[in-house]
Amino acid sequence: MAQEGFKRKLTAIFSADVAGYSRLMGENEEATIRTLTAYREVMATLIHQYNGKVVDSPGDNVLAEFISVVDAVQCAVAVQKEIKARNDELQDNRRMQFRIGINLGDVIQDEDRIYGDGVNIAARLEGLAEPGGICISKTAFDHIESKLPYGYECIGTQAVKNITKPIVAYRVLLEPRITVAKERQKPKKAAPPRKSKLVLVGVIAAFLVIIGIGIWYYSWISTYLSQVSEKTEENGKKILIVGGNKTFYENSDFKGKIGGNVIVSKGVTVRFWGTIGGDVTLEPDAIFEIHGKIGGNLYNKGGKFLLDGKLGGNEIYVKKRKAPSNKASDQQDK
């Protein structure tokens, strides 16, 4: 008689864990366990409300499955909003934030447990999520893109541990999509009574003088500064326009255009959508992710470079001085 095989099925996998769990336990074990227990109860209640089922909860992790990926994402958003509201009542150092990953994939079911690459991918997506955030796979995104009122940010193709093929990941923006309408034009004021030609000429002359001063000032400040930058907000994303060179001294996430060269300082992470006209230099331990085009060369002094686009020149590895023997290696914050 043929041996009965395992049952396979397509399901939406929900994987969550606590960001900075080791630090919280190190500072106060009892308080951390109490908060974790309370938040797990909140999560289990919401999972049940959205037609899901908790299948495992080892350590600080919660693993659940949903028949519908729409339900899974709605549940994840509800979980993050509820936990944020509860965290607001705690001291900053005692706040507990979860990272959530969601994948739609094939799994093996063994009694109440599920196994397989579908589960592993959800766990890796969880690691790509920001504390308090949600990260989903492309298979999940394709099923919910037009069904839910949330925004989404593609973070590109990601090579993750123990998964053979790179995965395309999306961050879920918790706020609803916002359509910015154009401002209504103000009604035109009634034309003033006719004045003498002399007064009209004077007004026009004054107007031209003001415009001339504005143009002169803009030209002067552009020449005086090595670069001209402008930061605004467009649907929640930072816009950066730089005419000259730019050095990044802190973590940045933006889109726009840089006309000159770029330097990413040591240990700084920069994610950029757009074009860079000149060269890019990565200092040691810097991370630079670009979705777009670099016109010049990439000078890598010990950083990490992720490209989703075109490099006009070459990637040049600059020889580094020997690092001190006691330099600590980065550890993943669990």
Range of the domain at 160: 7-176
pLDDT band, very low/low/confident/very high, at 235 (cuts 50, 70, 90):
low
Contacts of 24 by beta carbon, 8 Å cutoff, 6+ apart: 18, 32, 35, 94, 96
Q: Is pLDDT larger for residue 159 or for residue 209?
A: 159
Residues 165, 52, single domain; the answer is yes
pLDDT band, very low/low/confident/very high, at 226 (cuts 50, 70, 90):
very low
Domain boundary among 136, 155, 176: 176
Residue 202: per-residue pLDDT: 77
pLDDT (mean) for 247-257: 84
Residues 134, 269, single domain; the answer is no
Domain contains 219: no
What angle do helix axes 69-87 and 29-49 make, rounded to 10 degrees? 140
Q: Is pLDDT larger for residue 209 or for residue 114?
A: 114
Mean of pLDDT over the chain: 82
The DSSP code sequence of 196-261 is -HHHHHHHHHHHHHHHHHHHHHHHHHHHHSS--EEEEEETTEEEEEESS-EEE-S-EEEEEEE-S-
Domain contains 297: yes
Domain contains 217: no
Residues 90, 13, single domain; the answer is yes
Domain boundary among 176, 195, 218: 176
* Distance linking the first and last C-alpha atoms of the chain: 47
Residues 47, 141, single domain; the answer is yes
Domain boundary among 176, 199, 220: 176
Domain contains 195: no
Using DSSP's 3-state secondary structure scheme, residue 191 falls into coil
pLDDT band, very low/low/confident/very high, at 8 (cuts 50, 70, 90):
very high
pLDDT (mean) for 234-241: 64
Residues 266, 157, single domain; the answer is no
Residue 293 has pLDDT above 50, yes or no: yes
Structure tokens at 129: 């999520």
pLDDT tens sequence across 162-197: 888 999 999 999 776 543 333 333 444 444 555 556
Residues 149, 234, single domain; the answer is no
Residues 20, 168, single domain; the answer is yes
Domain contains 198: no
Residues 16, 110, single domain; the answer is yes
Domain contains 223: no
Residue 251 has pLDDT above 60, yes or no: yes
Residues 24, 88, single domain; the answer is yes
| CB 52 within 8 Å of CB 72 | yes
pLDDT above 70 covers a percentage of the chain that reads 80
Residues 169, 34, single domain; the answer is yes
Residues 78, 163, single domain; the answer is yes
Residues 63, 164, single domain; the answer is yes
Nearest Cα neighbor of 240 from 220, 223, 263, 259 is 259
Domain contains 205: no
Which residues does residue 158 pair with via DSSP β-bridges, in sequence order?
167
| CB 36 within 8 Å of CB 127 | no
Domains: count for the chain: 2
Residue 228 has pLDDT above 90, yes or no: no
pTM of the entire predicted model: 0.52
Query: CA–CA distance from 322 to each of 141, 150, 210, 284, 318 (Å)?
Result: 45, 48, 58, 12, 12
Which CATH number covers residue 148?
3.30.70.1230
